[in-house]
């Protein structure tokens, strides 16, 4: 999930087929409410959305690119389907991700609100990796001198559209709790600092 302060809203595309897709994508079912904590509920909901996008032949190419542009193996649908299906069908006590897959270190994802161990020390993801496939796009430009050799990876990522702060599910949970959102209540509409959030404020 990206949090880019420079962009207040997503651009609207003047395409009737995309408008139709945006209308249809809101009508679906989810089992995320069966999860025991907010982090897993958000992770399952996101996984379900990605799986619908992956399996629906009507999915708009721009939306597919936005969601899966860092996952080149998604192009092999036959090979990916069994893994994806197994994840989205996982039970409440099973993992919702493949442990040996890397977490791309973009925008501090996974580090904004880390877990703590018994001694209060922060626990950061151990499987982080720089998205070299994206950075590799600029190798030929470096050799031509068109990109300053001293620019760091973050600058190149910004040029590729990966700027801003990025949050994983745990980061989102930590941020909302810091803002006073009660994520432990059973209500569908969480309260903030003792007040109930009107339905119109939840998008």
pLDDT tens digit sequence for 133-171: 666 665 555 554 444 544 567 777 888 788 889 999 999
What is the dihedral sign for C-alpha 150, 70, 101, 10?
positive
- Which of 7-11, 57-61, 144-148, 149-153 has the weakest average pLDDT? 7-11
Q: What is the largest CA-CA distance in the chain?
A: 59
Report the C-alpha gap between 83 and 103 in whole angstroms.
17
The mean pLDDT of the chain is: 76
Q: Would the pLDDT of 85 be above 90?
A: yes
- Rounded to two decimals, what is the model's pTM? 0.71
For tokens 């799986």, name the residue: 51
Residue 192 β-bridge partners: 181, 195
Distances (CA, A) of 197 to 174, 178, 187, 191: 18, 16, 11, 6
Mean pLDDT of 53-71: 90
Q: Residue 181: name the closest of 42, 45, 26 by CA.
A: 42
Report the C-alpha gap between 37 and 47 in whole angstroms.
16
Copy the structure tokens of residue 63: 């939306």
């Amino acid at each position: 999930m990206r949090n880019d302060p420079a962009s207040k809203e997503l651009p609207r595309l003047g395409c009737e087929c995309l408008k139709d897709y945006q209308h249809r994508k809101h009508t679906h079912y989810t089992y995320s409410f069966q999860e025991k904590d907010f982090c897993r509920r958000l992770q399952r909901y996101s996984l379900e959305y990605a799986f619908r996008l992956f399996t629906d032949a009507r999915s708009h190419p721009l939306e597919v690119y936005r969601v899966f542009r860092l996952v080149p193996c998604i192009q092999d649908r036959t090979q990916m389907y069994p893994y994806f299906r197994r994840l989205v069908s996982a039970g409440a006590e099973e993992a919702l991700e493949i442990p040996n897959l890397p977490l791309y270190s973009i925008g501090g994802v996974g580090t904004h609100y880390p877990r703590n161990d018994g001694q209060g020390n922060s626990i950061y993801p151990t499987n982080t990796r720089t998205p070299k496939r994206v950075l590799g796009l600029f190798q030929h430009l470096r050799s031509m001198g068109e990109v300053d050799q001293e620019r760091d990876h973050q600058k190149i990522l910004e040029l590729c559209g990966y700027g801003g702060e990025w949050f994983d599910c745990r980061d989102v949970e930590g941020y909302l709790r810091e803002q006073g959102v009660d994520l432990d209540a059973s209500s569908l509409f969480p309260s903030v600092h003792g007040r109930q959030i009107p339905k119109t404020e939840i998008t």
